[in-house]
Structure 1
Amino acid sequence: MTPRSLSEAGHPSLARLEAAGYEVVFPAPGRTPTLAELEAVLPRCVGYLAGVEQVPSALLEQCPGLRVISRNGVGVDNVDLDTAARLGITVVPALGANSQGVAELALALAFGAARMIPWSDARLKSERWQRTRGLELSGRTLGIVGLGQIGRRVAAMAAGIGMRVIGQDAYPDRGWTTPSGFEWVGIESLIAGSDVITLHAPGGDRPLLGRAELARMRPGAILVNTARASLVDQAAVIDALDSGHLRAYCIDAHESEPPADYTLVHHERVIATPHVGGFTEESVERAAAAAVDGLLRALSGDAGD
């Protein structure tokens, strides 16, 4: 059991695992475990309720008894899925469990950047009466990359406050009932045509938004990333912020957690949160219950398909 939200204080859902006869082990209570800590525990486990830590092939190869990896979130790109499949290890995400929490945070970050709320708060707390002119999001264009359960919720909320919403997805669900005025577009059109871009896609081998893509964004645009740090070229973002081409960068998911390098976090035009998108009372409840359900189904031989 490694998710920080569960390993630090526990959760009532974990009692169901103990009631089913399983011993629950916490390699690193309250923090993300190191690879060495996982190697010391995981080889003797049959189930693994995983957090955001990397689960590489070499680790899985050491775990002959492991039957299931259950996530307390939707993302599974931290797990070597090819190796898991080859070894017969079922990987179960908690689909939709934290969608509302992440969606609300994404929109909250966009508001914070548009109105420069952290900037104003910091100055007033230092007893400086300074004002900076903000932006109204109503009437502006929001581009959403990734229209899964999180992206769809963002779309509905943004449309509700009067934003024009456009979206791109690698595998668009044409059966989704879109909000009024929503438009599907290609990634290039989204980058060039959005006042605010919010990312809700899995990471890849290369950044989705590198130097060239950031240069094609509208001057003064806001970029929100509650998905994966690897979606964005960090050095290019810093340059775009320094030049004023980007109004703000809002980030909740970091390359390492806690960050090994705080350069980006310290930037005046960055709003950074410590991976709290799904860290709400409601999301933790849903995710914990769903993750435990996934473990128990898989361990009982029911894949839950």
Structure 2
Amino acid sequence: MPPTRATDTGCKGRIAVTPRSLSDGGHPALRWLEDAGYDLVFPAPGEVPTEDQIRASLSDCVGYLAGTEPLPGALLEQLPRLRAISRNGVGVDSIDQEAAARLGISVLTAPGTNSQGVAELAIALMLASCRSIPWHDTQLKSGNWKRRQGREISGQVLGVIGCGQIGRRVASLALGLGMKVLAFDEYPLASFEPSPDFSWAPLEKVLTSSQIVSLHMPPADLPVLDADTLGLLRAGAIVINTARASLIDDTAMLQALDSGRVDTLATDVFSSEPPPPSRLISHPRVITTPHIGGYTRESVDRATEAAVDNLLKALAAQR
């Protein structure tokens, strides 16, 4: 369905755009906002904006096409004209939703638009972990002809923790590679039975039975992988996190890596982005990517169009 577009051209207010995938190079869908009569503001082109930049740039904005930057209630209270925040994704844990509701600010998401991109990255990180691709690349570029024996992904047991839209895509892709898949979800979709090699299981069984574990849960109050649950993993397990940094206890993970309980951690998400230097990030068996799960041409197109359409509809309804 094409995005809703207004026909009048009178200025209706300003809209801030902060996702890094949009604020630097732009996107054709942003023109729909301008065609609808809104002026665009870019607080920090190509970067994650600070609170000061948000406060200064959004003081008179009615709409906000937001990235993953934190939006605490105290900041939202200083944006008196703001009426709608539209995310080009599904994560809203960085937004104080109670404060937004109290202030009459709609919070909108674009579910499912980046599912394929995130799922493919999870699979790519599994393959990179199994074959130590980043390590081999570093060695060869440093002039060292060294090799680490890898493992084939076919025949491995994958544990999918959180089997929603992304988790189900990961499971399907993994089955296509010859893996066996165990999945845990608090609300399992009973109709999802893609293969005899797929089955639903309790969390403990997923952890104790899987050679690779991939996280796809929403944010939780407590880490899903802490010292106790990491202790349930098979020795030499691989952990993939393309969901939320809060799902892993960093201290416990570092100990698990040092002990060999976890062979490799591959993560695309961090508690603060960009993250400060740490022992975990610099660990030789940690693979990192800078939150690129949904950063594909196709995912950006789908997410941007949905986010813009949501924002236009919300602002039109309020007018």
Question: TM-score under structure 2 normalisation?
Answer: 0.91
Which range moves more in the overlay, 195-204 or 217-226?
195-204
Q: Which residue of 2 aligns with 1:205?
A: 221
Task: Determine the C-alpha separation between the residues in 2 that align with 1:58 and 1:179.
Answer: 49
- The residue that corresponds to 1:144 in the other structure is 160
Distance in 2, Cα, partners of 1:284 & 1:38: 22
**1 CA distance for matches of 2:164 and 2:194?**
12
The residue that corresponds to 1:292 in the other structure is 308
* 1:196 equivalent in alignment to 2:206: no
Deviation at 1:43, TM superposition (A): 3.2
Q: Spell out the pairing of 1:257-296 with structure 2 (5 A cutoff).
A: 257-296=273-312
Is the aligned partner of 1:162 residue 2:189? no
1: CA distance between counterparts of 2:143 and 2:66?
44
Assess if the C-alpha contact under 8 Å between 1:159 and 1:180 holds in 2. Answer: no
What corresponds to 1:73 in structure 2?
A: 89
Contact 2:217 2:243 in 1 (8 A): yes
Note the C-alpha offset of 1:126: 1.5
Partner in structure 2 of residue 229 of structure 1: 245
Aligned to 2:112: 96
1:108-143 deviation per Cα after TM superposition (whole angstroms, max 9, x unaligned): 001110111111111111121211111111111111
**Letter of the structure 2 residue corresponding to residue 291 of structure 1:** A
In structure 2, the residue matched to 1:185 is: 201
Helix, strand or coil for the counterpart of 1:23?
A: strand
Question: What are the within-5 Å matches in structure 2 for residues 41-80 of structure 1?
Answer: 41-80=57-96
Correspondence for 1:12 among 22, 25, 28: 28
C-alpha separation between the residues in 1 aligned to 2:265 and 2:53? 33
Q: Quick one: distance in 2 between partners of 1:71 and 1:280?
A: 16
Instruction: Measure, in 2, the Cα distance between the counterparts of 1:35 and 1:175.
Output: 44
Equivalences, count = 302
DSSP-derived class of the 2:38 partner: coil
Larger radius of gyration between Structure 1 and Structure 2 = 2
Distance 1:92 1:147 in 2: 22
Q: Which runs of 5+ in 1 are unaligned?
A: none
For residues 55 and 189 of structure 2, the distance between their equivalents in structure 1, rounded to whole angstroms, comes to: 40
Long gaps (5+) in structure 2: 1-16
Give, in whole Å, the separation in 1 of the partners of 2:268 and 2:216: 12
Other-structure match for 2:10? none
Counterpart residue number, 2:140: 124
TM-score (norm 1): 0.95
Verify the 8 A CA contact 2:193 2:199 in the aligned structure 1.
Answer: no
Task: Provide, for residues 140-171 of structure 1, a one-character-per-residue CA deviation record: whole Å limited to 9, x for no partner.
Answer: 11111111211111010001111111111122
What's the Cα RMSD here? 1.4
The structural deviation recorded for 1:177 is: 4.6
TM-superposition CA deviations, 1:168-204 (whole Å, max 9, x none)? 1122222335444321112111111111111111222
Distance 2:122 2:19 in 1: 21
Q: 1:62 to 1:178 in 2, by over 3 A?
A: farther
Distance 2:193 2:19 in 1: 34
Which residue of 2 is the match for residue 109 of structure 1? Answer: 125
How far did residue 20 of structure 1 move? 0.5
* CA distance in structure 1 between the aligned counterparts of 2:132 and 2:198, rounded to whole angstroms: 27
